[in-house]
Amino acid sequence: MTRDVLTHTHGAVGHLSLNRPKALHALTLEMCHAMSSALCKWANDDAVGAVIIDHAEGRGFCAGGDIAFLRNSALHDGGVSGRKFFHDEYQLNHQLFTYSKPVVAFMDGITMGGGVGISQPAKFRIATENTRFAMPETGIGLFPDVGGGWYLSRLGGRIGQFLALTGARLDGSECLWAGLATHYLPSEKLAEAKARISADPSRIAGILSELSVTPPKPRIEENADRIVRFFASDSYEEILSRLEADDSDWAQKERDTLGTKSPQTCKVALRQLAASAQLTDFADNMRMEYRIASRVLVRPDFAEGVRAVIVEKTGDPAWNPATPEGVTEELLDAIFAPLPENEEWTPL
C-alpha cells in the first residue's frame, strides 16, 4: 500500500488523506488504486457512515495528475501506460460520483485537474480562503477531463466554458458562488469540522452550516455578464472574434490568454462540454472522456505543451495544428470516435 495516500477510519468515517506534499499531492496510479480499494472496503462496512477526503500536510489539496508520467508514456510507450492511468483514475472518479455514502471533500489549497476529479463528485465540497480551483489543461494540450465535461457544462452563465478555455483560477468565494463548492469555512475551523463529522456523520450538513462563514465578495461576479456575452458560442472562432472586436481591457486580456492555449484543446473542450450537457449518465461522460484522452495523449500538443510549460518552462509551445482553423471537424470527429469495443472505458 502506498504511503502517498493515508487511509484509515476515525470514529464513524473513512478518511482518505493525500500525502505527496512535494508534488502538491498530484495523483499517481498507485494513489488512485489505494483510494478505490479503501472506498470498496468502506462501502460494505456498516461502521463507516461517511468518507472524508483531504490532504495530510503542505500546500495544495491536489494539483492534478502525474503529468511527467503521462508525457513519458506519450513519448516512449505509445500512450499505453498513460491510457491505463486515465482508465483507472476515471474509475475512481465514477466510484466517488456513485458512492452510496456521503463524501466530504476539503478543497483547502490548490485544487486542479485530478484534484477536481476527486472533489467534485463529493456531496459536500468545502472551500476555504486557501482554495485555488482551476482546470488549466488547455495550456498543456490536454483537456478538462476527470469528469470536467460533466461539472463545467452544468455551471450557469457559460462559466464552465470560460474556465475550460482560459484555465482561469477561482478562489474559495468564487467556487462557492459558481456552485463548485457547497460550503465556505475558514481553514482554522477544518479540524473541528472533521472531528465533529467523525463523531456524528449523520449531521454533516448541520455541522458544516454551523461552521460556515460569509466569504469575501467573489471577484468573478463582476465579470459574469461579460463571460455570458463573449463565451456564449460553442464555436471557438466565434468566441475569439467577439473578443477581438471588443476594445475593453477585459476582452483583450482574455483574447491574449486564449492566444497561448492549444487550439486543438480549446475546440475539444467546447465540443466536450456541449456533448456532456446532453448526457444523463456520468458513466457515459467518462466513456467519452476516455476516448478523448486516449487520442489527445499521443497527439503532438500534449508532449509539446508539457515541455514548454512544465519541463523546460520556456512558455513557447509550438501547437500543431497552430491555428483554430487548422483543427478541422474531421480531426475532432476522430478524437471523439468510439474505441474498439475491447478498449472502451468501463466502471469498476
Average pLDDT over residues 205-217: 98
Domain with 68 in it: 5-343
Q: Length of the chain in residues, anyone? A: 348
Q: What is the pLDDT of residue 1?
A: 60
- The pLDDT, as a whole number, for residue 328 is 98
Task: Record the cell numbers describing residue 111, joined without a space.
Answer: 485544487
- Would you place residue 57 in the very low, low, confident or very high pLDDT band (cuts 50, 70, 90)? confident
State mean pLDDT over 175-204: 98
Helix 159-166 vs helix 249-258: angle between axes, to the nearest 10 degrees?
A: 50
Query: Quick check: is 348 in a domain?
Result: no
Cα–Cα distance for residue pair 219/155, rounded to 1 Å? 17
What's the whole-number mean pLDDT along residues 176-189?
Answer: 98
Is 29's pLDDT higher than 80?
A: yes
Residue 244 within any structural domain of the chain: yes
What pLDDT, in 10s, does the model give residues 130-178?
999 999 999 999 999 999 999 999 999 999 999 999 999 999 999 999 9
Q: Give the percent of the chain with pLDDT over 70.
A: 100
Q: Which residue has the cell 467546447?
A: 270
In the predicted structure, residue 2 carries a pLDDT above the cut 90: no
CB 294 within 8 A of CB 264: no
Tally of domains in the chain: 1
pLDDT tier for residue 227 given thresholds of 50, 70 and 90: very high
CATH at 48: 3.90.226.10
The partner residues of 107 in beta bridges, in order of sequence, read 127
The alpha carbon torsion through 24, 291, 294, 164 (nearest 10 deg) reads -40
Phi-psi region of 31 (alpha: psi -120 to 50; beta: other; left: phi over 0): alpha
Q: Encode pLDDT of 262-307 as tens digits.
A: 999 999 999 999 999 999 999 999 999 999 999 999 999 999 999 9
pLDDT at 316: 95
Q: Which has the minimum average pLDDT: 65-69, 111-115, 271-275?
A: 65-69
Q: Which residues are catalytic?
A: 65, 114, 137, 145
**242 in a domain, yes or no?**
yes
Summarize pLDDT for 97-106 with one digit per residue, the tens. 999 999 999 9
Is residue 119 within 8 Å of residue 151, measured between CB atoms?
A: no
User: Is 43 part of a structural domain of the chain?
Assistant: yes
